[in-house]
Structure 1
Amino acid sequence: MPYKEKSIEKKYYSIGEVAAQFNVATSLIRFWESEFDLIKPKKNRKGNRQFTKEDIENVKLIYHLVKERGFTLQGAKDMLKSSSNDLKDKMDMIDSLTKVKEFLVELRKNIS
């Protein structure tokens, strides 16, 4: 049986890594942290923010509403309060469909 190397998954991400994922400035992430109750990163002894996967998912929801759909901050807050679970389900579905699309495009490229 061949050895299969386990992929190491990080537990915490720095604010710089989170900002790089969304191609935004770290100051925007800090601002959203102050505006939205959903984002609550832990802080280490130095005061550096440590984001979990859940925090990153919440940043992703806020990014989608504010940057992609054009909501105001108040509109995004209202949307998150009214249908947070429904919105997460929709975002998961969009992610799944995006991955399927990427797979199909790659498949078509390989066939040609």
Structure 2
Amino acid sequence: MEGTGKLYYGIKEVADLFGINASKLRYYEKEFPTLQPKKNRSGDRVYTQADIDHLTEILDLIDRQKYTLPGAREFLKEREARRRENARYIAKLQKIKSFMEKMRAGLDLPQPPPSDSVSESE
């Protein structure tokens, strides 16, 4: 569905895309708290490309990699925790880098002598 230019997809479109019925999509919403498509004013589910990508990942874990539903839920939960932890480490490292760059800029390093463009043999 990428490249179609649409921002939102109905539950029927998404179900047809994955070859499953709409009730299974609603079931996965209950089983996976991270899969929560928005609802429009009339209460119909509308899926974004991010929702579809997440659903693709869930179905891959269940169908191809043969995870159980609780196993797939745990895998996604642990992966998200690792991402948050990595983001914290990256933020700390960026602060350290910035501090080190300020320290280096503040050092009075001896400047190399200017090189003469005229050689001594002239």
TM above 0.5: yes
Q: Does 1:63 align with 2:68?
A: no
Letter paired with 1:39: L
Once the two structures are superposed, residues 61-106 of structure 1 have per-residue CA deviations (whole angstroms, 9 ceiling, x without a partner) of 10001111111100000111112499xxxxxxxxxxxxxxxxxxxx
Q: Does 1:40 align with 2:36?
A: yes
- Residue from 8, 14, 18 that aligns with 1:12: 8
Distance change in 2, residues 1:64/1:44 (3 Å): same
Q: Does 1:80 align with 2:71?
A: no
Where does structure 1 lack aligned partners over 5 or more consecutive residues?
1-6, 87-112
- Residue from 19, 25, 29 that aligns with 1:23: 19
Of all paired residues, the percent bearing the same amino acid is 39
* Structure 2 counterpart SS, 1:62: helix
Where does structure 2 lack aligned partners over 5 or more consecutive residues?
83-122
Letter paired with 2:15: A
Preserved contact between residue 38 and residue 55 of structure 1 (Cα < 8 Å): no
Matches of 2:6 and 2:24 in 1, distance apart? Answer: 23
- Runs of 4+ that moved beyond 4 A: none
* Structure 2 counterpart SS, 1:38: coil
Q: Normalising to structure 2: TM-score of the pair?
A: 0.60
Matches of 2:75 and 2:25 in 1, distance apart? Answer: 19
* Number of positions where the alignment pairs a residue of Structure 1 with one of Structure 2: 80
* Structure 2 counterpart SS, 1:67: helix
Matches of 1:69 and 1:38 in 2, distance apart? Answer: 19
Q: Normalising to structure 1: TM-score of the pair?
A: 0.65
* Structure 2 counterpart SS, 1:50: strand
RMSD in angstroms over aligned alpha carbons? Answer: 1.9
Matches of 2:33 and 2:78 in 1, distance apart? Answer: 14
